[in-house]
Amino acid sequence: MPLKIVTTNTIDPLVWDEFVEHHPLGTIYHHSSWQEVIKKTYGYQPLYHFLQEDSSGLQAAISSAFVKSRLTGNRIISYPFSDTCDPLVETSEQLDALLKALEKSRSELNARFVELRFAKANRFIDNYPSCPEYHSYHLALDEKPDTLLRTFHKSCIQRAIKKAKQQGLQIVTGKTEGDMKAFYRLHLTTRKKHGVPIQPYRFFRNLWNTLFPKNMLTLFLGGYHDKVIGGIVVLWFKDIAYFKFGASDYEFLHLRANQLLMWKAIQLAQERGCRIFDFGRTNCVNKGLAQYKTRWGTRKMALHYFIIPNVRKSEALIESSSRHAISRKVITRMPELVNRMSGELLYKHFA
């Protein structure tokens, strides 16, 4: 029986998540809960393209969203604010059929381009140039904790973890939205320090309300003398732990809370039976962050982002552009309240 192509803005979450769960390329960024957080926060229109048989359900799919923006241009992204979101396919023929349907949707929506964020499915595509702007860093968790610890950089990671323990830092996991608010206050300061736009708080509230009850999110907080001085957010799906956000109080960086927080998250990942700890994507121009992640014994993996048709994105979307450099300088000089307000208004345009 020939496969039919279905284009829709809605899905049955149970059917979709079962498909994602069993597909070898399925990740947290495909899951309906993550995509619901993005929709609730930023108001993007979801867009799904399926290949299916009437009797046997989904065979292949691409999940995406339509980003409508006068500031950065209308476009379809698979998936906004996600490191990767491979097409859930098994053959080049399936991908070709879905791309044709996606191109039709692009034309109907008057979108300038489609952006596909591949981690592994690039083997199915060979006629489009990709943009190697980002790398991901993965730590294999197949060693025992003590053995794994010894593979980390001796001075920057091992000694830092030991120092944090000696200083009496306490690591706890968040239990209430109030804990997420405490993390967000540090997040505001951290983003300002690095000159990057701040997400609206409603994004973290939606993350907490959607993923935490499903045991798909853990918030780790580092405390020192009853003061929260650091935190990280880790997401869970299948056998992968995803480090998603980190924040610090810069007055206490010398206590090395960041390294101890990450180590506690890695230990929990092993306890949960995870195979990989994903340190997340890093732009190729961010040499310092890339080096830090490498010191955890990670393996660097190129992420392949495809722009179809092959047009140049807005300068505001390219982290290595001069416009981004100017933006970073401006953000570091603005009051936190202004940064937060601008994030509420503008962050959705960057996707």
- Residue-wise pLDDT for 270-294, tens only, equals 999 999 999 999 998 899 999 999 9
Res. 295: pLDDT tops 90: yes
Contacts of 182 (CB under 8 A, 6+ apart): 221, 228, 231
Q: Token digits for 267? A: 């230990």
Contacts of 147 (CB under 8 A, 6+ apart): none
Q: Which residues contact 271 (CB under 8 A, 6 or more apart)?
A: none
Model pTM score:
0.94
Angle between helices 159-166 and 257-271 (to 10 degrees): 100
Half-sphere exposure of 124 (CA within 13 A, CB side): 21
Tokens of 72: 């950065």
Q: What is the pLDDT of residue 323?
A: 62
Contact 88, 98 (CB under 8 A): no
Confidence tier at 211 by pLDDT (50, 70, 90): very high
Mean pLDDT to the nearest integer, 325-346: 78
Residue 195: what pLDDT? Answer: 84
At 258, the pLDDT band (50, 70, 90 cuts) reads very high
Give φ, ψ of 161 to 5 degrees: -65, -45
109 three-class SS: helix
Share of the chain above pLDDT 90, in %: 78
pLDDT band at 57 (very low <50, low <70, confident <90, very high): confident
Q: Which CATH class is domain 137-303?
A: alpha beta
pLDDT of residue 208: 99
Averaged pLDDT, 15-36: 98
Other C-beta atoms lying within 10 Å of the C-beta of residue 307: 18
User: What pLDDT is stored for residue 54 in this prediction?
Assistant: 72
Bigger pLDDT: 263 or 331? 263
The phi, psi pair for 328, rounded to 5°, reads -60, -40
- Computed over every residue of the chain, the mean pLDDT equals 92
State how far the Cα of 261 lies from the Cα of 67, in Å rounded to an integer: 34
Q: Which run of H or of E encompasses 306?
A: strand 299-308
Using pLDDT thresholds of 50, 70 and 90, give the confidence band for residue 342: confident
Which pLDDT score, from 0 to 100, does residue 56 have? 67
Q: In this structure, what DSSP letter does residue 167 have? A: T
Split at pLDDT 50, 70, 90, the class of 107 is very high
Q: Rounded distance, CA 232 to CA 187, Å?
A: 10
Place of tokens 């001075």: 155
Q: What is the pLDDT of residue 150?
A: 97
Split at pLDDT 50, 70, 90, the class of 196 is confident
Average pLDDT over residues 84-102: 96
pLDDT of residue 40: 98
Indicate the fold that domain 4-127 takes in CATH.
Aminopeptidase (3.40.630)
pLDDT mean over 61-84: 96
**Does position 29 have pLDDT exceeding 80, yes or no?**
yes
Cβ–Cβ contacts within 10 Å for residue 53, how many?
12
Q: Residue 124 has what pLDDT?
A: 81
Beta bridge partners of 108: none
Task: Give the per-residue pLDDT at 324.
Answer: 56
Lookup result for tokens 């700890």: 277
Every domain of the chain with CATH number 3.40.630.30 lies at: 4-127, 137-303
Burial class, 215, CB count within 10 angstroms (exposed 0-12 / middle 13-18 / buried 19+): exposed
Please give the residue that has the higher pLDDT: either 195 or 110.
Answer: 110
pLDDT of residue 53: 80
Could you tell me the maximum CA-CA distance found in the chain, to the nearest angstrom?
67
Q: Which helix (H) or strand (E) holds 1?
A: none
Does the pLDDT at position 98 exceed 60?
Answer: yes
- Other beta carbons within 10 angstroms of residue 256's beta carbon come to 23
Closest by CA to 153, choosing from 306, 317, 275, 294, is: 294
Lowest average pLDDT, out of 150-159, 250-259, 340-349, goes to 340-349
Considering only residues 164 and 319, tell me which one the structure prediction assigns the higher pLDDT.
Answer: 164
How many Å apart are CA 133 and CA 312, to the nearest integer? Answer: 13
Q: How far apart are the first and last CA of the chain?
A: 38
Q: Quick one: pLDDT at residue 322?
A: 60
Higher pLDDT pick, 133 / 15: 15
Q: Quick one: pLDDT at residue 279?
A: 99
Q: Report the range of poorest mean pLDDT among 97-106, 127-136, 179-188, 303-312.
A: 127-136
CB atoms within 10 A of CB 275: 14
Crossing angle of helices 13-22 and 32-42, rounded to 10°: 130
Residue range 74-89: mean pLDDT, rounded: 98
* Dihedral-angle region of residue 65 (phi above 0 means left; psi in -120 to 50 means alpha; beta otherwise): beta
Helix (H) or strand (E) holding 165: helix 159-166
Question: Going by C-beta distance under 8 Å and a sequence separation of 6 or more, which residues neighbour residue 187?
Answer: 198, 199, 204, 231, 245, 247
Q: How far apart are CA 281 and CA 134, in angstroms?
A: 6
- Determine the average pLDDT of the residues in 235-255: 97
In 3D space, the residue among 266, 257, 272, 253 whose CA is nearest the CA of residue 298 turns out to be 266
